[in-house]
Structures are given as C-alpha cells and as structure tokens.
Amino acid sequence: MASSAPQIVLHSLTVADGSATYTITLHGLAITIACGVNYALEVPHRSDERPATILIEVNLSPHNAVSLVKERHVESLVRRVLEAIVVGEETPRALLQVSLQVMNVETDESLPGGIKEGGQGESYLPILAAAVDASVLGCLDAGVVMRDITAAALVGVQKGAIETVVVNPGMKERKRCSSLHVFAFTARGKVILMESEGLFKMPEFERAMDAAREVVLGPEGRLNEFRKAVEQNTEARMRWKEG
C-alpha cells in the first residue's frame, strides 16, 4: 500500500502568475500535468461577475486531443474543490484562471504499440487526482488566498482470496480492481471530494478512504510534499534575490 512521492516543480512557467508541473507515478507509469494560474484578472464579461466572491475558471487540455465530456467533468470537479478552499471574498468581481495541460499519460504495454491511456472510455479518476494536486500547487505559487490546502489520492480495491487496497494503481492494477476511488482531504482532515467508480460495499469504501487519508495526511504524505516544495521554492527565490 506504499505510495511513491510525486515530483513537484513550482514556477515552471514564466508567463503565468503562478505555475506548477506535477508528476505522479502509478506503479511505474507516470502522469504529468502542467498548471498555469492567473490571479486576479478582470472578468471578460460583466454578466459573469460575482459581486461577493471570485469567479473560478478551470480549463483542462488532454495530451492528444481537444477537451470532451471527460475533461469537462474533471474541470467541474476541480473547480468545486478550489471554490471550497479559495477565499473568494478577498477579490470579489475578479477571475481566478486555472489552465491544466496533460503532458504525459500512462502507456498500456499489454496492447500492440503501447496504446496511450486517456481516451473517453478510460477512467477519469487518475487524471482527476493529479489535476487537483497540480491546481492547488499552482494556486500556492500564484499567492492565491486560501483558507486551507488540499491534496487528492487515487485508491483501488482489488477483490480475490484476499481483498487488497492499492494506492496509485497503474493501468494493469486498475483492470483488476472492482472499484476505484479519489478522495481529497484538507490539512484539517476534512473530505472535500469523493468520486468513485465500480462496485463496492461500505466497508470497502471506508478502507479505501482510510488508505487515501494516510497518503494525504500521513507523516510522509502528499501535503507534507507540498510543504517541502513550497519551502524549497521560497529558499531558491530568496537566494536569487540576495544575489
């Protein structure tokens, strides 16, 4: 049930207010998402302004095609996560623009030519978990005012003689899973996103949630990796300023 640490590069784009490149390895196969954040912008259309809070716009571009139904669904879920943690009252009538580009996805080596994952028939959950993490990191780099931070984890449940909970299941592992789950937790331990696919009972769901909680909030968890990345980026900027 061990989870490998993600690779995080903050301020990877020079044309955005904040940015992050996030790579997570799913049992040897990597998903990479680049995130650019612009904050706070003028809302293009006055009719879209929100008088008491900020308008959050999320755009997800897949690695090899235009955005379709799956990408639109992921965009809406990422937006809901950000709406739960961003202090929108600080910048009412403004726009927070989050642009996500999938740079790399898994390859199914069991198919001729190693077919790339990510088609409309594939599960959206692996991309969702990485997109949530990349978005939060991009917002941190942009200095977006947030009441809390969050991270997401992908977990699968494999049934057999012994039920197994698999953290960050790769393509081969997911084919053996009876259910897949993504949970996002805040630093205070609150669940702000739960998405599931497949057949499962409540005890299996709870075990999957416990595994995801450990991945996010554990001593070597995802949020701890976020903190390290921000600290290292801050130290690097300070050294650059000092000359």
- Give per-residue pLDDT as tens, 32-77: 999 999 999 999 888 889 999 999 999 999 988 778 899 999 999 9
What's the rounded Cα separation, in Å, for the pair 228 and 15?
Answer: 24
- Give per-residue pLDDT as tens, 2-18: 568 999 999 999 999 99
- Give per-residue pLDDT as tens, 127-164: 999 999 999 999 999 999 999 999 999 999 998 878 89
What is the pLDDT at residue 150?
A: 98
What is the pLDDT at residue 240?
A: 67
What is the pLDDT at residue 113?
A: 45
Q: Which positions ≥6 away from 157 have C-beta within 8 Å?
A: 163, 164, 165, 166, 177, 178, 179, 180, 181, 198, 200, 204, 207, 208
What is the pLDDT at residue 114?
A: 45
What is the pLDDT at residue 112?
A: 46
> DSSP assignment of 192-241, as one string?
EEEEEEE---HHHHHHHHHHHHHHHHSTTSHHHHHHHHHHHHHHHHHHHH
- Give per-residue pLDDT as tens, 92-128: 999 999 999 999 998 766 654 444 555 556 899 999 9
pTM for the complete prediction?
A: 0.93
Does residue 227 have a pLDDT over 90?
yes
What is the pLDDT at residue 116?
A: 59
With CA atoms as reference, report the closest residue to 33 among 132, 131, 154, 172.
Answer: 131
Strand order, beta sheet including 191-198:
164-167, 150-158, 177-186, 191-198
pLDDT band at 243 (very low <50, low <70, confident <90, very high): low
> Is residue 96 within 8 Å of 65, Cβ to Cβ?
no
What is the pLDDT at residue 241?
A: 66
Where in the chain does DSSP place strands (E)?
7-10, 18-26, 29-42, 55-61, 94-104, 107-108, 115-116, 150-158, 164-167, 177-186, 191-198
- Give per-residue pLDDT as tens, 15-34: 999 999 999 999 878 999 99
Q: What is the mean pLDDT of residues 174-178?
A: 93
Structural domains of the chain in order of their starting residue, each with its CATH number: 7-242 (3.30.230.70)
What's the rounded Cα separation, in Å, for the pair 118 and 64?
Answer: 9
pLDDT band at 214 (very low <50, low <70, confident <90, very high): very high
Does residue 242 have a pLDDT over 80?
no
> Is residue 102 within 8 Å of 60, Cβ to Cβ?
yes
Tokens 């009441």 sit on residue: 147
What is the pLDDT at residue 47?
A: 82
